[in-house]
């Protein structure tokens, strides 16, 4: 083996002056890069329909193109990016038709989560969700939509986590992430926002009683109402982009 070949060990790639980068470290970098891109998409920093390139994002994020390319593949699989031949990728747009495809699946997942969570949730977990609900109500009263949505997301994910079913949780997060881009617009209407808060109060009450059957119904209904509001907002955004 020549000197150059000896400098790269199995399971690694070169970093710096011939030092190998472990595969585990490379994997962590690509996951971190994918997480940062998701956050940028969900925060609206990368808007639906915008074209993105590896070169520009590599400079913006301060990473090499290798982990960025892997992150592109991951987000494409999640439906957040649409590849463009020889031109990078485009931030995927949400359509009313896609909402109609995804939400019945999400409704079934949330309904199942309600039943399972009531079987397994602890008093401490209920107390934590109750505290999150109280904070969310405060943000609602102040009209702080961004903070409201952060707490809203944590509540739904906490219920999912209480199912003790990692497969269910993973599938749900994949779909939930796809609609998070346009979710804020679904609750912009004061009437819908107030309605959503009332729905969450009933969800919390059913969870506290550990009434899995009722919680399943409430979560599915809550999602249906969100679906209709989201479709309206997607149509409005689509008209505005013409």
Do residue 110 and residue 215 come from a single domain?
yes
Residue 92 carries which DSSP code? P
Structure token pair of residue 165:
């079913």
> Which of 41, 58, 91 is the endpoint of a domain?
91
Domain boundary at 91, 110, 140, which? 91
175: domain range? 96-240
The pLDDT score that the predictor gives to residue 238 is: 66
Q: What is the pLDDT of residues 17-46, one digit of tens each?
A: 445 555 546 678 999 999 999 888 877 789
Residue 8 is assigned to a structural domain of this protein:
no
Q: When comparing pLDDT for 189 and 23, which is higher?
A: 189
Angle among Cα 124, 125, 126 to the nearest 5 degrees reads 90
- Residue 8 predicted with pLDDT over 90: no
**Residue 85 sits in the same domain as residue 125:** no
**What is the rounded CA–CA span in Å between residue 161 and residue 164?**
6
Q: What's the CATH number where 210 sits?
A: 1.20.120.530
Closest to 229 (Cα-Cα) out of 180, 185, 173: 185
- Checking if the pLDDT of 204 tops 80, the result is yes
Residue 187 domain flag: yes
Residue 233 lies in a domain: yes
Q: Do 87 and 156 belong to one domain?
A: no
- How does the average pLDDT of the chain come out, rounded? 85
Looking at the structure, tell me whether residues 81 and 140 fall in a common domain: no
Per-residue pLDDT reduced to its tens digit, 148-179: 988 999 999 999 999 999 999 999 988 887 77
User: For residue 67, what pLDDT band results from cuts at 50, 70 and 90?
Assistant: very high
Residue finishing a domain among 72, 91, 110: 91
- For residue 226, being part of any structural domain is answered with yes
My answer on whether 81 and 101 are in the same domain is no
- Do 37 and 46 meet the contact criterion of CB atoms below 8 Å apart? yes
| 242: Cβ contacts below 8 Å, ≥ 6 apart | none
61 and 111 inside one domain = no
The first and second tokens of residue 73, run together, are: 């593949």
Q: pTM (2 decimals)? A: 0.76
**pLDDT of amino acid 177:** 75
Residues 52 and 162 both lie in one domain? no
Does residue 4 lie in a domain region?
no
Question: Contact, 206 vs 214, CB < 8 A?
Answer: yes
């Amino acid at each position: 083996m020549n000197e150059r070949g000896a400098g790269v060990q199995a399971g690694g790639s070169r970093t710096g002056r011939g030092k190998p980068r472990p595969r585990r470290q490379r994997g962590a970098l690509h996951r971190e890069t994918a997480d940062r891109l998701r956050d940028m998409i969900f925060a609206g920093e990368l808007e639906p329909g915008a074209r993105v390139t590896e070169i520009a994002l590599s400079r913006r994020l301060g990473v090499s193109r290798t982990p960025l390319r892997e992150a592109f593949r991951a987000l494409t699989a999640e439906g957040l990016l649409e590849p463009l031949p020889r031109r990078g990728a485009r931030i995927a747009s949400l359509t009313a038709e896609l909402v109609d495809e995804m939400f019945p699946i999400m409704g079934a997942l949330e309904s199942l989560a309600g039943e399972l969570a009531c079987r397994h949730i602890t008093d401490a977990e209920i107390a934590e969700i109750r505290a999150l609900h109280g904070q969310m109500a405060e943000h609602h009263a102040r009209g702080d939509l961004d903070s409201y949505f952060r707490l809203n997301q944590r509540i739904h994910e906490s219920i999912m986590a209480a199912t003790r079913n990692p497969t269910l949780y993973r599938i749900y997060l994949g779909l939930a992430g796809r609609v998070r881009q346009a979710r804020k617009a679904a609750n912009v209407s004061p009437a819908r926002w107030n309605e959503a808060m009332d729905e969450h109060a009933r969800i919390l009450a059913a969870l506290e009683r550990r009434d899995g059957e009722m919680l399943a119904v409430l979560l599915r209904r809550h999602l249906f109402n969100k679906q209709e509001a989201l479709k309206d907002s997607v149509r409005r955004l689509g008209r505005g982009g013409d």
